[in-house]
Amino acid sequence: MNKFSDVITQTLALLQPLSPELQQLPPEIAQISRAEQQGELCLKNQFLKVAGIGELRSASVSSAKIEIANFLFFPEIKTYTPVYAAEFVCLSEKPIVAVIDAKCLLANEGDKEVTELLQQARGKIGYLSPETDMSAWYLESRSGNDIFVRSPSVAQLEELMQLHLQIWQGLIHLFATPKTCTEDLALIHAQKLQHYKDLHRLNYPGVPLLNRSFGEEWTDNYLKNYLFA
């Protein structure tokens, strides 16, 4: 069982008040596995769409060597709803990185509420990693109020996952009353969202693992047409 099973279950459960619809994925995308010397590596995907608001994409990897929980929320382009991203990675039981971020791609009055959610969470911890630990592409995509921690302790990882759930719950409260934008702004939002997705897809740190486990063709299709579509 993935050590992140509980946080995955809770993340999906928090979205239920908005009546999300579980998207039907091809079997080879919904869950795929590969035999390894120390057992099995399994990738599981769950995509939940909330009409008129956006879509949560949950991807998790579990194996004897590495475990990953990845959450992406992409907004409906006709709204001012923010994007959200969180990822937790452990290698051989050792936490490697934890990242939590949200930002409005279209400037609006909701920016303040999103910023406050993140800043309140940041104020609870004293072990954020410096910008020198961040890659150039990440620096471009981040909100500036993000939570980025390399090599957290086990206790810190637990705290960070709880902060993720608190921030996610706060965002869902905002999602419940989405603000719509004009058609012209929706086109701009679509462009900004596509750039955000492309930036993450082209620099996704999990590519070597996916290529090695499932092949380059499968990985390219998965990232381009599913996870960052």
pLDDT of 104-148, one tens digit each? 999 887 789 999 999 999 999 999 999 999 999 999 999 999 999
Q: Which residue, among 50, 11, 40, has the nearest Cα to 178 in the 3D structure?
A: 50
The structural domains of the chain, ordered by start, are: 5-219 (3.40.1500.20)
By residue count, the chain amounts to 229
Q: In the prediction, which pLDDT does 36 show?
A: 85
pLDDT of 19-45, one tens digit each? 999 999 999 999 999 998 888 999 999
Distance CA 144, CA 87 (A): 17
Residue 1 has pLDDT above 70, yes or no: no
| Contact between residue 85 and residue 101 where contact means Cβ atoms under 8 Å apart | yes
Distance CA 157, CA 213 (A): 26
What residues are paired with 39 via a beta bridge?
Answer: 36
* pTM of the full structure: 0.96
Average pLDDT over every residue of 15-20:
97
Q: In the prediction, which pLDDT does 121 show?
A: 97
pLDDT of 163-197, one tens digit each? 999 999 999 999 999 999 999 999 999 999 999 99
